[in-house]
């Protein structure tokens, strides 16, 4: 047996010569004895060009509608010149009981009984095969029609053999005007039948052979079609659905999935064989997953309902507390703050300490004068268990309606004292008594009646306006029951009182954006505390970083607040100007953790004068006080200090009622009192608002910060759009072969890499606002979990979910959709 080729037009056709010189082409093959060239089922010989060219449709159970044949010339003629009026067979005129393109599909049981000579035979029209199933389909994929034509048939046999796969014969047909011509033919080998679901059939075929183009088809002159047929050797998947009456073919080397609707599927069966059923699924994992999911859902709903009920109860409780506060909170007596025997100790792991200059303010020159080790350790305040005492049994009273300034050299303990009496967290141990109107006070309650303004203004968010920053404090620190109009009225009143109404709509500003001035920021910080009308206000160096004019103006405003509203105001200050010093009501001078002087600001100079230190005329009193204290030795200060408590130190009683410092779960019965009567009759809640209110307010602020941040949102959204367009341009319109699959995998890799780099911006999500969070938490704004959820939600959704969706949508339309 030999082979050769034949060129027709521009196409070369391979052919095989059997031993009897019978030449075969296309769907023809030599018989087992190599003597006869026969055609595959559904084809018959076209004797043109002296070759057995199996390109004609064989009307098995019918007759052809045309009588035209090919002659021996090389000119290709139109095979079909007429069409059938019968929609079931546009090519062949079928005998009764048969249908399809080549009349091979039964339509009733009678023709099957005659064909198989078996009275029990029947025509199976289901899509699930018994032995050999034939499908006749019309192509619905518009992009596939120019390549293969309008119709195709699939003849799958050998499906009853469960140990080895069968074959599926694929034939495509092209309808041009009134004629239908066979286009090409392929054989899918090693096809294994599976039933994924009821009514579905899936043939998974291992490889493809014998793809040939018909000599009578115009598509055989298309070089692209010939190239595809030459390389169609890979796997093929044929999936049909009995419910939708459709089939789809996916081939490894064909550029696209062939979609179709199938009007016929039939085979003659002599003995009934039960159709294969879909494999029974193990429902146990689904039951377990459903049970676990139900439990989780019920647990979440219980937690949600419980949290809502708890929030409602908390809101009602805070409402009663607020009503009691409004009745007697702004009383004429104010709040007298008193500290007794206040001691602050820190611990160190060092066995011996060589320097405390920066820790407790001990002068190294004085230490050098000590000759004995015992005296040196006493000078360094080294106690048992390596403890260092920074504040030594301080006692003092801060009266309402007055301003008390705490002054002293660096390291004297001013900030430590202010933080402790303001309720700020300290790393050491704090002992002594803190009384409000001669009664101990609960820590949670103390946070509700005392305000604290830090030295720096970095706790203000730069993207918010002045009004929004103050309103944020009012919404979180005033109870939910206070109407929004009342909160807004308070904000407007405080801004008017502090003289910042003219900048209400200006942004605070940050390092990247110019905002309000330093003095205005300091007033905004004060306004955030005054909006809740605190009876006690603490300020840490309110003039730090301000010019002389704004420093004087800020101190004057603070003094006016104390006088008008009978508030107790305490602040630390380092080295004020003389005109600022003159505004102080009371002065507390500190040195080496001890009180050097406490009394009126005017009386401080008279006190030093009695000690032999006269202040020169036209000399800043504050500078003179600091110079004298720095020059005096420790022995001198111990002998001259006034108002120093001489009681022995007690290290057993913490400053807040019934709990250590900073505990959040405290119980108290003796609360803040008004002279002899209690203002509150029950324990005060730590936070004025519920969890859901906090979550809403924090989410609103996070959203404003998000869309006003010029560098954050455009960086993510523009990069997603640009990279989506760039990848779409590089991998545009990929096909469905192996190379295209590899290209798509490459595009997915690049998208994942870009998304990973974009996600690095989340590293600074909490770092950039750490200072804001610490200050607001210390001032009792919100719970930690409320802040976490709000930041996570407004970072996860806008920056981690939406940009990938944008990029993926652009890439899908350009790369993955075919």
- Decide if 595 contacts 643 (C-beta within 8 A): yes
pLDDT category at 68 given cuts 50, 70, 90 is: very low
pLDDT of res. 126: 85
User: Distance between CA 427 and CA 441 in Å, rounded?
Assistant: 21
Of 361 and 507, more confident? 507
Q: What is the pTM of this model?
A: 0.56
pLDDT of res. 371: 43
- Whether residue 274 is contained in a domain is answered as no
Listed residues 234, 269, 304: the one ending a domain: 269
201 lies in the same domain as 80: yes
- pLDDT at residue 369 above 50? no
pLDDT category at 22 given cuts 50, 70, 90 is: low
802 lies in the same domain as 750: yes
pLDDT category at 75 given cuts 50, 70, 90 is: very low
- Whether residue 184 is contained in a domain is answered as yes
- Decide if 536 contacts 524 (C-beta within 8 A): no
662 lies in the same domain as 703: no
pLDDT of res. 680: 31
695 lies in the same domain as 673: no
710 lies in the same domain as 645: no
pLDDT of res. 69: 39
Taking residues 357-364, report their average pLDDT.
46
Phi, psi of 423 (to 5 degrees): 85, 20
- Whether residue 230 is contained in a domain is answered as yes
Closest-CA residue to 536 (of 655, 600, 448): 448
- Decide if 382 contacts 333 (C-beta within 8 A): no
DSSP helix/strand/coil, 328: helix
Q: Which range has the top average pLDDT, 55-69, 316-330, 772-786?
A: 772-786
Range of the domain at 756: 691-816
Count structural domains, the chain.
3
Closest-CA residue to 173 (of 155, 135, 147, 134): 147
- Whether residue 762 is contained in a domain is answered as yes
Span 411-426, pLDDT tens digits? 788 888 888 888 876 7
Q: What's the CATH code of the domain at 606? A: 3.40.50.300
- Whether residue 280 is contained in a domain is answered as no
228 lies in the same domain as 345: no
pLDDT of res. 682: 42
Sorted by sequence, the CB contacts under 8 Å of residue 18 that are 6+ apart come out as: 1, 24, 30, 31, 34, 35, 36, 37
Of 544 and 569, more confident? 569
- Decide if 649 contacts 390 (C-beta within 8 A): no
Listed residues 652, 678, 704: the one ending a domain: 678
Q: What are all long-range contacts of 495-504, with beta carbons under 8 Å and residues at least 24 apart?
A: 495/466, 495/467, 495/470, 495/527, 497/530, 497/561, 498/523, 498/526, 498/527, 498/530, 498/557, 499/523, 499/553, 499/557, 500/466, 500/524, 500/527, 503/466, 504/465, 504/466, 504/467
- Decide if 48 contacts 159 (C-beta within 8 A): no
pLDDT of res. 636: 56
pLDDT category at 26 given cuts 50, 70, 90 is: low
41 lies in the same domain as 100: yes
Span 158-174, pLDDT tens digits? 776 666 678 888 888 88
Pairing of strands 677-678, 52-57: unpaired
**Gyration radius from the chain CA atoms:** 46
3-state secondary structure 243-286: CCCEEEEEECCCCCEEEEEEEEEEEEECCCCCCCCCCCCCCHHH
pLDDT category at 47 given cuts 50, 70, 90 is: low
Span 112-146, pLDDT tens digits? 888 888 888 889 888 888 888 888 888 988 888 88
Taking residues 66-90, report their average pLDDT.
38
- Whether residue 507 is contained in a domain is answered as no
Sorted by sequence, the CB contacts under 8 Å of residue 160 that are 6+ apart come out as: 130, 131, 273
pLDDT category at 362 given cuts 50, 70, 90 is: very low
- pLDDT at residue 356 above 60? no
- Looking at every residue in the chain, the average pLDDT score rounds to 75
252 lies in the same domain as 349: no
DSSP helix/strand/coil, 132: coil
669 lies in the same domain as 718: no
Of 11 and 543, more confident? 543
pLDDT of res. 467: 92
Structure tokens at 810: 């652009």
pLDDT > 90 fraction of the chain, expressed in percent and rounded: 3
Q: How far is CA 674 from CA 91, 616, 678, in A?
A: 107, 44, 6
- Decide if 268 contacts 125 (C-beta within 8 A): no
User: Distance between CA 541 and CA 545 in Å, rounded?
Assistant: 9
661 lies in the same domain as 715: no
Pairing of strands 677-678, 122-124: unpaired
Sorted by sequence, the CB contacts under 8 Å of residue 698 that are 6+ apart come out as: 782, 786, 787, 790, 791
337 lies in the same domain as 383: yes
Structure tokens at 173: 């047909």
- Whether residue 313 is contained in a domain is answered as no
Of 161 and 151, more confident? 151
652 lies in the same domain as 744: no
Listed residues 237, 253, 269: the one ending a domain: 269
Taking residues 387-403, report their average pLDDT.
86
- Decide if 685 contacts 321 (C-beta within 8 A): yes
Span 578-637, pLDDT tens digits? 888 888 888 898 888 888 888 888 888 888 888 888 888 878 888 888 888 877 755 455
């Amino acid at each position: 047996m030999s082979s050769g080729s034949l060129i027709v037009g521009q196409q070369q056709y391979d052919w095989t010569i059997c031993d009897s010189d019978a030449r075969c082409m296309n769907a023809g093959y030599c018989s087992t004895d190599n003597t006869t060239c026969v055609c595959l089922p559904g084809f018959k010989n076209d004797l043109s060009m002296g070759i057995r060219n199996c390109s004609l449709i064989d009307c098995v159970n019918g007759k052809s509608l045309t009588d035209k044949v090919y002659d021996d010339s090389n000119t290709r003629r139109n095979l079909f010149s007429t069409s059938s009026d019968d929609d079931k067979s546009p090519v062949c005129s079928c005998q009764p009981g048969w249908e399809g393109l080549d009349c091979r599909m039964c339509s009733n049981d009678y023709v099957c009984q005659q064909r198989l000579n078996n009275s029990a035979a029947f025509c199976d029209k289901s899509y699930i095969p018994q032995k050999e199933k034939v499908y006749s389909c019309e192509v619905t994929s518009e992009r596939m029609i120019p390549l293969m034509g309008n119709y195709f048939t699939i003849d799958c046999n050998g499906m009853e053999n469960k140990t080895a796969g069968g074959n599926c014969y694929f034939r495509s047909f092209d309808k041009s005007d009134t004629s239908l011509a066979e286009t090409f033919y392929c054989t899918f080998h090693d096809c294994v039948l599976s039933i994924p679901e009821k009514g579905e059939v899936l043939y998974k075929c291992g490889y493809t052979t014998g793809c040939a183009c018909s000599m009578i088809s115009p598509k055989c002159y298309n070089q692209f079609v010939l190239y595809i047929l030459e390389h169609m050797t890979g796997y093929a998947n044929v999936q049909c659905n009995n419910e939708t009456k459709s089939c789809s073919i996916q081939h490894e080397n064909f550029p696209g999935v062939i979609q179709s609707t199938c009007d016929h599927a039939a085979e003659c069966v002599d003995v009934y064989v039960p159709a294969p059923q879909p494999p029974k699924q193990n429902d146990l994992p689904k039951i377990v997953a459903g049970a676990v999911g139900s439990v989780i859902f019920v647990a979440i709903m219980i937690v949600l309902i419980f949290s809502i009920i708890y929030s409602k109860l908390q809101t009602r409780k805070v409402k009663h507390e607020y009503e009691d506060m409004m009745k007697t909170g702004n009383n004429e007596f104010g709040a007298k703050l008193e500290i007794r025997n206040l001691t602050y100790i820190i611990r160190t792991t060092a066995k011996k300490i060589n320097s405390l200059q920066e820790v407790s303010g001990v002068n190294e020159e004085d230490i050098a004068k000590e000759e004995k080790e015992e005296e040196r350790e006493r000078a360094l305040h080294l106690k048992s268990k390596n403890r260092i005492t920074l504040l030594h049994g301080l006692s003092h009273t801060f009266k309402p309606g007055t301003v008390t300034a705490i002054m002293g050299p660096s390291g004297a303990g001013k900030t430590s004292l202010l933080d402790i009496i303001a309720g700020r967290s300290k790393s050491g141990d704090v002992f002594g008594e803190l009384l409000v109107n001669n009664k101990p006070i609960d820590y949670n309650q103390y946070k509700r009646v005392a305000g604290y303004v830090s030295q720096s203004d970095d706790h203000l968010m730069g993207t918010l306006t002045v009004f929004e920053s103050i309103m944020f404090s009012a919404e979180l620190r005033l109870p939910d029951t206070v109407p929004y109009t009342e909160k807004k009225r308070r904000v407007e009143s405080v801004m008017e009182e502090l003289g910042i109404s003219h900048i209400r709509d200006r942004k605070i500003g940050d390092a990247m954006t110019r905002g309000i001035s330093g003095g205005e920021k300091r007033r905004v910080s004060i306004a955030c505390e005054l909006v809740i009308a605190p009876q006690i206000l603490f300020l840490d160096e309110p003039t730090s970083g301000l010019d002389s004019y704004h420093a004087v103006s800020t101190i004057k405003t603070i003094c006016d607040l104390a006088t008008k509203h009978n508030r107790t105001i305490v602040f630390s200050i380092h080295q004020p100007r003389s005109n600022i010093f003159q505004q102080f009501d009371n002065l507390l001078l500190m040195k080496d953790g001890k009180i050097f002087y406490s009394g009126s600001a005017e009386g401080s100079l008279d006190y030093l004068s009695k000690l032999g230190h006269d202040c020169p005329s036209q000399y800043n009193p504050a500078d003179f006080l600091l110079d004298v204290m720095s020059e005096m030795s420790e022995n001198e200060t111990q002998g001259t200090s006034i108002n120093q408590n001489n009681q022995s130190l007690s290290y057993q009683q913490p400053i807040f009622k019934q709990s250590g410092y900073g505990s959040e779960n405290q119980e108290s019965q003796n609360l803040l009192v008004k002279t002899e009567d209690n203002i509150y009759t029950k324990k005060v809640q730590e936070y004025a608002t519920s969890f859901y209110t906090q979550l809403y307010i924090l989410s609103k602020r996070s959203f404003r910060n998000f869309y006003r941040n010029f560098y954050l949102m455009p960086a993510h959204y523009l990069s997603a759009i640009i990279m989506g367009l760039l990848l779409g341009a590089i991998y545009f319109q990929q096909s469905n072969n192996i190379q295209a699959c590899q290209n798509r995998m490459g595009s997915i890799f690049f998208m994942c890499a870009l998304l990973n780099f974009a996600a690095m911006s989340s590293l600074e999500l909490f770092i950039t606002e750490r200072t804001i969070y610490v200050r607001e938490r210390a001032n009792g704004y919100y719970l930690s979990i409320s802040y976490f959820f709000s930041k996570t939600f407004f970072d996860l959704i806008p920056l981690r979910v939406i940009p990938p969706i944008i990029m993926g949508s652009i890439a899908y339309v350009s790369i993955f959709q075919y």
